[in-house]
Amino acid sequence: MRRTHRCGEVTKKDLDKNVVLNGWVKRTRDLGGMLFLDLRDISGVVQVFFDNEKTELYEAAKKLRMEDVIEVTGQVRAREEKNINPNMSTGEIEVGATGLTVLSKSEVPPFVISDAENASEELRFEYRYLDLRNEKAMNAMVLRSKAVMKVRNYFQRHNFIDIETPILNKSTPEGARDYIVPSRIHKGKFYALPQSPQIFKQILMVAGFDRYIQMARCFRDEDLRADRQPEFTQIDAEMSFIEQEDIFEIIEGLMVELWDLIDVKLSPPFPRLTWQEAMERYGTDRPDTRFGIELVDITKAAQETGLDMFKGENNVTKAIVAPGASEWSRKVIDELTEEAKKMGAKGLLWIKMEETEVKSSILKTLGEEKTRTLAVAAGAKTGDVALIVSDSFLKASKVLGHLRLVTGEKLELIDKNKFNFLWVYDFPLFEWSEEEQRYSATHHAFTSPREEDLDKLETSPESVLSQAYDLVCNGTELGGGSIRIHRPDIQKKVFKALGISEEEAEEKFGFLLKALKYGAPPHGGIAFGMDRIVAFLAWEDSIRAVIAFPKTTSAYCPLSDTPSEVGTKALDELNITLKK
């Protein structure tokens, strides 16, 4: 018999109707002579009633266990006033059972489904099919589906074409470590899984699809975090004949529609901040602007103290003020110092502006008056604590940017209900890599320098700014992109600055360079971490919660036991020998 209703959709309108329901046994409550059963499917839960006037049926119901799959026939009836359960959407009715079929028995599950949130992630992911039966986990996936539909719908309305790009790709030298797939036919050669469809979407622009969109699965073989999985989904978009501002507008419209899913009204345009300004004020390229506390440059005041520690040639002294934090114990200060050192600072200078006196690590060396002057330069008032770091501009900014976040958390200054979006743009085109002793691309090798910086490409690459941009929300980078290089001559100069030889460029990216020679339109685009966006919408801290089958931080899947060894036959065919 086919079901007539989903469990959560039986309502008062169905009173006296005979219904057929399918679902999982959430729980039974046997009162002796009468038994209540909560039946669950994706739509919700409904209460089924068995009594011992129908002895056989009652005895059968007594044998049911959690997570058995059953079919129930019965009649919808209203609950008496005193028996209504206001916490249940179907709480005004119940189904008086007239028939019961067990469709599938369940073993005792390793955790109780309705309590899955309290089980360890490892266990939940091993039994993800049980975990997903839990309302919250299932809703996250439902929300994800809605978000995907929104995105596709939005871009279609704006004339974007959805095109799939290859999963088996050429390995490229820049960027993250590739996942590698050996080729059987081409022995000794390898495919790489895409870190992003970057080059292909640019080639699609050359082809003339002037607006492209794809939900692209991407793969990066790097160490994982709460917001990083080895495979993840990007909303990948690219447009021709546009400028940076066009991208901002179209994406702002998309964010409005996505956040509408959770009834949050965003009001574009989002604030725009240059990279320089973001670093100066927040010490990071992804500022969390849900709370105040900005970095202050006190280099001049610091140098006037005459202390050696402030003197270095490229030294910049920066500070933040923790408002009303003079109650902080020595232990808290020590913690902050540890945090600062973790970020690479030599140390952390602190000044406590207490009611009657000033306390500081440099009080003895500097004396009360000069110490107070320094704190005041940072903007500290009575009751505040000034935290000071002296180092290179980037180091001092980053350390204080981190301390700013820690301080915001500690003092509970962050309004968790806010969604503060902003654009960061004008990133440096290159950054110096100490490890490799060369410049590397801040965004990627195809990012266009700003027009006005073109002539500095060869003379002072470090000062060239790019047409790259990030969309940031609450201190998280949701996505980023750039206007691309569409002229082969500029692309060559950028490769040169990156220390990529012509031969290497030809070997690795030759197909893109060739395409650019055949009438490439000016173009640019952006890519978003779909998982991060959905995690935001679902109020989850980890993207694992919004991925159906996530991997652990060691890139292992506890459900399928992946990765695993392969047989010698497969290795032989691939001409691969494993090292001992």
Partner RNA sequence: GGGGUCGUAGUUCAGUUGGUUAGAACGCCGGCCUGUCACGCCGGAGGUCGCGAGUUCGAGCCUCGUCGGCCCCGCCA
**Which residues, in sequence order, are CB contacts of 564 under 8 Å at separation 6+?**
none
CB-CB contact of 194 with 169 (8 Å) = yes
Question: How far apart are the C-alpha atoms of 168 and 190, rounded to whole Å?
Answer: 9
Does residue 504 interact with RNA by CB under 7 A? Answer: no
Name the one range near RNA by CB under 7 A: 181-189, 194-202, 321-329, 375-383: 194-202
206, 242, 385, 445: residue in contact with RNA (rule CB under 7 A): 445
SS3 173: coil
196, 214, 360, 407: residue in contact with RNA (rule CB under 7 A): 196
Does residue 554 interact with RNA by CB under 7 A? Answer: yes
Does residue 566 interact with RNA by CB under 7 A? Answer: no
Q: Residue 141's Cα: distance from chain center in Å?
A: 15
| 170: nearest Cα among 180, 161, 160 | 180
- Give the 3-state secondary structure of 407-448: HHHHCCCCCCCCCCEEEEECCECEEEECCCCEEEECCCCCEC
Classify strands 272-274 and 421-425 as parallel, antiparallel or unpaired: parallel
157, 177, 189, 438: residue in contact with RNA (rule CB under 7 A): 177
Q: 71 — alpha (psi -120 to 50), left (phi > 0) or beta?
A: beta
Does residue 224 interact with RNA by CB under 7 A? Answer: yes
Choose between 191 and 310: whose C-beta lies nearer to RNA: 191
Question: How far apart are the C-alpha atoms of 221 and 174, rounded to whole Å?
Answer: 13
Question: How far apart are the C-alpha atoms of 149 and 235, rounded to whole Å?
Answer: 12
Choose between 308 and 541: whose C-beta lies nearer to RNA: 541
Does residue 231 interact with RNA by CB under 7 A? Answer: no
Least distance in Å: CB of 487 to RNA?
18
Does residue 51 interact with RNA by CB under 7 A? Answer: yes
Does residue 81 interact with RNA by CB under 7 A? Answer: no
Does residue 393 interact with RNA by CB under 7 A? Answer: no
Does residue 549 interact with RNA by CB under 7 A? Answer: no
Least distance in Å: CB of 267 to RNA?
29
CB-CB contact of 477 with 471 (8 Å) = yes
C-alpha dihedral sign at 321, 323, 328, 332 = negative
| 15: nearest Cα among 92, 78, 58 | 78
Name the one range near RNA by CB under 7 A: 13-21, 203-211, 345-353, 441-449: 441-449
97, 251, 441, 535: residue in contact with RNA (rule CB under 7 A): 441
Q: Segment 116-155, which members bind RNA (CB under 7 A)?
A: 118-123
Choose between 29 and 157: whose C-beta lies nearer to RNA: 29
DSSP state letter for 167: S
Angle separating helix axes 135-157 and 244-260, nearest 10 degrees: 140
CB-CB contact of 293 with 287 (8 Å) = no
Name the one range near RNA by CB under 7 A: 26-34, 129-137, 153-161, 484-492: 26-34
Does residue 553 interact with RNA by CB under 7 A? Answer: yes
Does residue 87 interact with RNA by CB under 7 A? Answer: yes
In b/e form, how buried is each residue of 100-128, taking b as 16+ CB within 10 angstroms? Answer: beeeeeeeebebbbbebeebeeeebbbbb
186, 342, 418, 438: residue in contact with RNA (rule CB under 7 A): 342
12, 15, 105, 110: residue in contact with RNA (rule CB under 7 A): 110
Does residue 462 interact with RNA by CB under 7 A? Answer: no
Least distance in Å: CB of 122 to RNA?
4
Choose between 386 and 534: whose C-beta lies nearer to RNA: 534
Name the one range near RNA by CB under 7 A: 219-227, 296-304, 506-514, 563-571: 219-227
| 162: nearest Cα among 219, 206, 204 | 204
Choose between 359 and 496: whose C-beta lies nearer to RNA: 496
Residues that bind RNA (CB under 7 A): 27, 29-34, 36, 38, 47, 49, 51-53, 65-66, 79-80, 82-85, 87-88, 91, 94, 108, 110-112, 115, 118-123, 172, 174-177, 195-196, 198, 220, 222-228, 342-344, 435, 440-445, 542, 544, 552-554, 556
